[in-house]
Structure 1
Amino acid sequence: MTPATIAVYLAVGPVDLRGAFDRLAAITRQVLCLDPASGALFLFLNRRRNRLKALWWDRNGYTILYKRLSKGAFALPSFTEADGKCIELSAQDFAQLLAGLPVEELASRRRLVH
């Protein structure tokens, strides 16, 4: 998986991150209306935005990446479900998000999905 070559989607609403593969795949399918087996990377944040889970399907199964910030929260603009169910991130936005860096300019570049 190379983030520059795959689509990255961030769910706008908070998600209960106690769920694992099947629950995140169901949220992707039923709430985001996207195919979890498409090869795209799907990102989910908890309500406090200090934890992130990423779901990705490769050729033979799901992979989950789980990141918990030691302090603070992921720095994103505020979104509501009125903005859409998810937004597509660039590879640069995804790298900044994982590094814990602010992704403030995202609001002007975001591509709303649904």
Structure 2
Amino acid sequence: LAIKPIHMNKSFDGLAALVVDVIEQNPLSGHLFVFRNKRGDKIKVFTWDRNGFGFWYKRLDRGRYKFPRTDSSSVTISCDDLKLLLDGIDLNKLKRLPELYYEAVL
């Protein structure tokens, strides 16, 4: 997620440049890169898909997307968190059980 809002007039080349300059990633990686506008009611999800760039654009009729609070220019989230974000869930207010990692079973 790019934390700082962008102008939503950006298209393929502009979004690819933001991936490099702001998120500091390779736009050809196949990852989903998420941007929002200043009001927080519009979101673009940008990606490379084998033979070209594509993006998905959504405008909320009510409410605003709540991006995580951070001092970084971008943050990596899971697919599950992206789904929650797109469903309008405030990721800052989520309370989760800690993840458990084991190296062996009895």
Superposition TM-score, scaled by structure 2 size: 0.81
Corresponding residue number in structure 1 for 2:12: 21
Corresponding residue number in structure 1 for 2:46: 55
For residue 72 of structure 1, give the secondary structure of its aligned residue in structure 2. Answer: coil
For residue 66 of structure 1, give the secondary structure of its aligned residue in structure 2. Answer: strand
Distance, in Å, in 1 between the alignment partners of 2:9 and 2:73 is: 20
Tell whether 2:29 aligns with 1:38: yes
Contact 2:3 2:67 (C-alpha < 8 Å) held by counterparts: no
Indicate the RMSD between aligned Cα atoms, in angstroms.
Answer: 1.9
Matched AA of 1:67: K
What is the number of equivalent residue pairs in this alignment?
96
Gaps (5+ residues) in structure 1? 1-9, 109-114
Superposition TM-score, scaled by structure 1 size: 0.76
Report the structure, 1 or 2, having the larger strand content: 1
Matched AA of 1:95: K
Deviation at 1:76, TM superposition (A): 3.1
Q: Which of 75, 78, 94 lines up with 2:69 in the alignment? A: 78
Distance, in Å, in 2 between the alignment partners of 1:105 and 1:42 is: 22
RCO greater where, 1 or 2, for CA within 8 Å and sep 6 or more? Answer: 1
Larger-Rg structure: 2
Specify whether residues 87 and 58 from structure 1 end up closer, same or farther in structure 2 by C-alpha distance, changes over 3 A only.
same
For residue 54 of structure 1, give the secondary structure of its aligned residue in structure 2. Answer: strand
Gaps (5+ residues) in structure 2? 97-106
